[in-house]
Amino acid sequence: MADYDLAVIGGGLNGVSIARDAAGRGLRVILFEQGDLGGGASSASSRLIHGDLAMLERRGFLRVRRALAERRSWLRIAPHLVRPMRFVIPAHADERAPWLVRAGLLLYDRLGQDDGLPQSETIDITHHPVGFALKRPFGTAFEYSDCLVDDSRLVALTAMDAAERGAVIRTGARCVRADRDDSWRLAIIDRGHRKVITARALANACGAWVPIVAETVLRMPPPATGVMQMSQIIVRRLFDTDTVYVFQNNDGRLIFASPYERDFTLIGTAVHPFKGDPAIVATSAGDVAYLCEAANRYFRERVEPSDVVRTLSGANLALDPNRRVGRDGGISFDAKRRRAPLITIHGGDVTTSRLRAERAVSRLLPFYPMSRRWTAGAPMPGGDFDWHRFDAEVEAARDRWDFLSEAQAQRLVAAYGTRLTAVLGDARSRADLGPAFGPELTGAEVRYLMQREWARFADDVLWRRSRLGLTMPPADRDALVAFMASAM
């Protein structure tokens, strides 16, 4: 008998979502991630949980409706990680006609009805707070609802849920060879040690690495798809409102500027084809200049390349509507007689990742008995509260741990939800939480991340389990490295 029912290669959002779904349906699952969970595109996204307004122009009504239904599910199952936001499109004379934008938003409201988010509006921003950060000529704007998500924490908590339902999650474990018979025989380099396991089915969920893994690990013809690089910049906060600005750039692309970790603004994306190893994708000076220029068409405060505090880029499989690989991604399923099944995930976005995993795992139904679809209604770890009660959760955290500032409590509840108790325990003062690294991070939180969320290195903690790397002084970073080495 094979060691596992399903082996998953790739610990990005697609891989962990498949592991969660399958483990919850009773399969014996193992997942291999060569680096850290979310170390690929899944920690570099624009963080939008959205129906994709631009898709309406391409008449993708069903896709928009499906994505908006997923938005509703995310609010229900991950109320700590997913935050409803108001998105603002300033009307620009050179771009889409205002009536067209308004009509699109009315349709968007209709497709997303019943989720309790405020409807769209036309607003005069001449004297409105959302207009303060913008250049003078903007008098009218359109406001609508969508959500932002903490993408890399979503990966970690999905993996945690999978593990709590029995999945084995191995990070630092690279799959180097897969031989197919009536089951799969996988060779893994697991933290320097070669291991072999067998599984009845395999999922290739390696994002931009899918073609490389198909060719070099599975030794099969790679799928005929290109890879795109997408890049973003992070600058000091450009506006005070809790708003995501959507700019219609002069090349027709939508540019998003969103609040990022309290003190920063994330601006993206620049997109172009990519060749090479997705692990070394990096933002070019040209992409930085493009994004600064796009922001400068709208914001009053100028953004220069020298203002960029960090860039964020990732590689994704090309989304080619002609090949029917849209933002929902594609799933291919290969199951010949007497040959173990293979699922390949061809990209796809954060918003529809849960549904994609559900569909992918359901393809295995003829092979195994498994329980029913379940992920749309089951809260992620720490997400067992109503999203309307987020502020009440923050208040309750401040009552229980009265040494927390409002901002600290907000960050911690957004990261851990009701699992915050497991992080802070019965601490009565900040000193009870061990050494401090930078203004926010404590030894207790780092230990929790190492024990429960697979954090191994300082970068895992600073750039994926949190984004505290943005405010971490270099000396404290060094202290964190030493602390984690001693806690291993």
Ligand X SMILES: Cc1cc2nc3c(=O)[nH]c(=O)nc-3n(C[C@H](O)[C@H](O)[C@H](O)COP(=O)(O)OP(=O)(O)OC[C@H]3O[C@@H](n4cnc5c(N)ncnc54)[C@H](O)[C@@H]3O)c2cc1C
Contact set with ligand X (CB under 6 A): 9-15, 32-35, 39-42, 44-48, 174-175, 205-209, 213, 217, 230, 232, 269, 314, 316, 345, 347-351
Nearer to ligand X (CB atom), residue 217 or residue 257? 217
Residue 417 φ/ψ region, left for φ over 0, alpha for ψ in the -120 to 50 degree band, beta for the rest: left
Which tokens in the block code for residue 302? 């100028």
Q: CA dihedral defined by 80, 235, 464, 53, rounded to 10 degrees?
A: 60
Question: CB of 451: closest distance to ligand X in angstroms?
Answer: 21
- The percent helix, strand, coil of the chain (3-state, each to 5) is 35, 25, 35
Residue 307 DSSP one-character state: G
Nearer to ligand X (CB atom), residue 347 or residue 417? 347
Nearer to ligand X (CB atom), residue 90 or residue 347? 347
What does the alpha-carbon distance between residue 355 and residue 379 come to, in Å, rounded to a whole number?
Answer: 15
Question: CB of 222: closest distance to ligand X in angstroms?
Answer: 13
E strand or H helix at 451 = helix 443-452
Question: CB of 55: closest distance to ligand X in angstroms?
Answer: 12
Give whole-number Cα distances, 309 to 99, 157, 257, 291, 312, in Å.
Answer: 38, 27, 15, 14, 10
Nearer to ligand X (CB atom), residue 15 or residue 90? 15
Question: CB of 110: closest distance to ligand X in angstroms?
Answer: 21
Nearer to ligand X (CB atom), residue 41 or residue 68? 41
Question: CB of 246: closest distance to ligand X in angstroms?
Answer: 12
Nearer to ligand X (CB atom), residue 213 or residue 462? 213
* C-alpha 309, offset from chain centre: 21
Look at the chain and count its residues.
Answer: 488
Judge whether 417 and 382 are in contact, CB under 8 Å: yes
Question: CB of 154: closest distance to ligand X in angstroms?
Answer: 9
What does the alpha-carbon distance between residue 18 and residue 158 come to, in Å, rounded to a whole number?
Answer: 9
Question: CB of 348: closest distance to ligand X in angstroms?
Answer: 6
Measured in degrees and rounded to the nearest 5, phi and psi for residue 31 equal: -125, 135
| Residue nearest ligand X, CB atom distance | 12
Beta bridge partners of 4: 199
Q: Per residue in 386-416, is it b (16+ CB within 10 Å) or e — as a string?
A: ebeebeebbebbbeebeebeeebbbbbbbbb
Question: CB of 155: closest distance to ligand X in angstroms?
Answer: 7
Question: CB of 399: closest distance to ligand X in angstroms?
Answer: 35
Nearer to ligand X (CB atom), residue 143 or residue 349? 349
Nearest to 394 by CA among 373, 415, 380, 365: 415
Nearer to ligand X (CB atom), residue 268 or residue 381? 268
What does the alpha-carbon distance between residue 81 and residue 147 come to, in Å, rounded to a whole number?
Answer: 10
Judge whether 175 and 213 are in contact, CB under 8 Å: yes
What does the alpha-carbon distance between residue 375 and residue 216 come to, in Å, rounded to a whole number?
Answer: 33
Nearer to ligand X (CB atom), residue 213 or residue 420? 213
